[in-house]
Structure 1
């Protein structure tokens, strides 16, 4: 049951749920005598997901001994409620949208520590751990946190051999993957120790490695994903080619 007063056909999609009312058969709200309401029944399905509806205000104005009703419209917007994995996010936290997004995010990370957080909306351990992950992200603004929703990317997680949640993988620069493990609130020390160990200053030469080549090939061979990865050809050094030529000539 919701109590609103709205004018017919003024807006969508809620106009079919509303009725207009005259001042004589309406009731006012305590403290707001000019605001009139009438009860309207809604269906069991909720329509208030970022929608907009209008309240109609009636005001009694004396005119030649009679009361004349005038009204003003007030619009209210009901925002969409945040889901638990969307709460407390920091600027250095990003939700991955695709396999391509994950690969690009890792390859563009430079020498920065990147933590990939695999979670599921229905995982109780993930939900309980989320506030602490947000706290770690706030305390370590130089660390990039990438969130992967398992329910939205099951096929990708399968190709990356992620089968336990919550699950974390640490990457950094040319070193690539540093460690991977699963932990909960009870074993949060494992996460703290890994974070303290891998946030220390270090220098890695070369571009960020990101995923292993075997993982890239697994993603590319997954027909459910739109990801292409050409296998790199191994180029031999001039010294190796010269040695091979000498061996052939000797024979």
Structure 2
């Protein structure tokens, strides 16, 4: 089941309650076409992995503080967290990539960012020029510097290079 986050406190509680399960955060907006397109696949995957993953939907228009925390600037953005650490992310409406990324991290043998180069976040979807990509919606907001999520240095570097996080 996909859980719709109501507030920052609600989000923090859901993350705490997830324990050792994979947390998938879907940053979306009601006006975002690609977000609507991928939503049924996300629901399907949430049901498929219900015993090993928690799927949270964060409406960027209603939860700006969480959106800023992860420096989300394009939609949909998916952030994957395992045991309190951001292990992967991607931007765009790519249901195959969503399924493969969830499958990669729901297993009990997940290194969560401490593996081979094959475990590096996929950087196929650059944020530059996101407005011209039919699979991505850009958020028109001025974001401020904020607390960064706890992530391995290589994940943070990739997120900064792609504009998902500011350094």
The answer to which structure has the higher strand fraction is 1
Count of equivalent residues: 114
What are structure 1's unaligned runs of at least 5 residues? 1-89, 205-212, 217-251
Distance 2:13 2:109 in 1: 22
Distance 1:159 1:146 in 2: 15
Distance 1:139 1:155 in 2: 30
Aligned equivalent of 2:90: 181
Q: Structure 1 length as normaliser, TM-score?
A: 0.42
Structural mapping, 1:146-165, within 5 Å: 146-165=56-75
Distance 2:74 2:92 in 1: 10
Structural mapping, 1:30-109, within 5 Å: 90=1, 93-109=2-18
Q: Structure 2 length as normaliser, TM-score?
A: 0.61
Aligned equivalent of 1:214: 147
Shift of residue 203, structure 1, vs aligned partner: 7.5
Divergent runs of 4+, >6 A:
none
Shift of residue 196, structure 1, vs aligned partner: 1.3
CA pair 215-104 structure 1, distance change in 2 beyond 3 A: farther
Structural mapping, 1:3-14, within 5 Å: none
CA pair 171-155 structure 1, distance change in 2 beyond 3 A: closer
Aligned equivalent of 2:107: 200
In the TM superposition, what whole-angstrom CA distance separates every residue of 1:3-27 from its partner, at most 9, and x where no partner exists?
A: xxxxxxxxxxxxxxxxxxxxxxxxx
User: Structure with the greater relative contact order (CA < 8 A, sep ≥ 6): 1 or 2?
Assistant: 2
Aligned equivalent of 1:43: none
Distance 1:200 1:124 in 2: 31
Contact 2:8 2:65 in 1 (8 A): no
Shift of residue 153, structure 1, vs aligned partner: 1.5
Contact 1:111 1:203 in 2 (8 A): no
Distance 1:107 1:138 in 2: 20
Distance 2:110 2:74 in 1: 32
